[in-house]
Amino acid sequence: MGTFNIYLMLPGTTREAFDFYEALFGGQRTSFFTFADMIPMGMPVEDEHADLIAHTALELPNMTLMGSDSTSPITPSTDQSPVLLHHFTDTREDADRIFAALAEGGTIIRPIVDAPYGYYDGSCIDRFGIAWNIMYEHESIGPARLGRHVRVFR
């Protein structure tokens, strides 16, 4: 079946965004080249796009996050994003640290709190226009308890 990875198209902020994500999540940058780097391969490149990122990849423990600068206009919304990235943390402290870093300079959609469905989670849009849901499972919810938690939302 293969694997799924996430590819972000950003409005000229790919270098800054991936430097930030690499510092925050760790991982290793396995690919990085600009549009100017593609000229020797025969790709025509507009002068104003030469320094934009044509492709980068950040290898994380369970996925690869990839991205590129768009050469056409992107107008991210300030209150919603067509993509919502979920990140499950190993500890509550990691959830707090990661949520705070992502929310800084961005928009908090839902503060990080203990939710009735067994997670400590919150949602924000980072300063690059990417929506995140940061989650820590503080309480295991088995099938017997799931029905009780689902009724909270009806």
What is 16-55 written as a DSSP string? HHHHHHHHHH--EEEEEEESGGGGGGT----GGGTTSEEE
Do the Cβ atoms of 35 and 42 come closer than 8 Å? no
Question: Model confidence over 117-130: pLDDT tens digits?
Answer: 678 999 999 999 88
Whether the pLDDT of residue 147 is over 50: the answer is no
* Long-range contact pairs involving 144-150 (C-beta distance under 8 Å, separation at least 24): 145/118, 149/116, 149/117, 149/118, 150/117
64, 119, 122, 135, 148 from 152: Cα distances, Å: 35, 14, 18, 19, 7
Q: Find the mean pLDDT for residues 50-78.
A: 83
pLDDT of residue 79: 54
Q: How far apart are CA 110 and CA 124, in angstroms?
A: 7
Q: How far apart are CA 133 and CA 112, in angstroms?
A: 9
Mean pLDDT taken over the chain: 82
Do the Cβ atoms of 17 and 67 come closer than 8 Å? yes
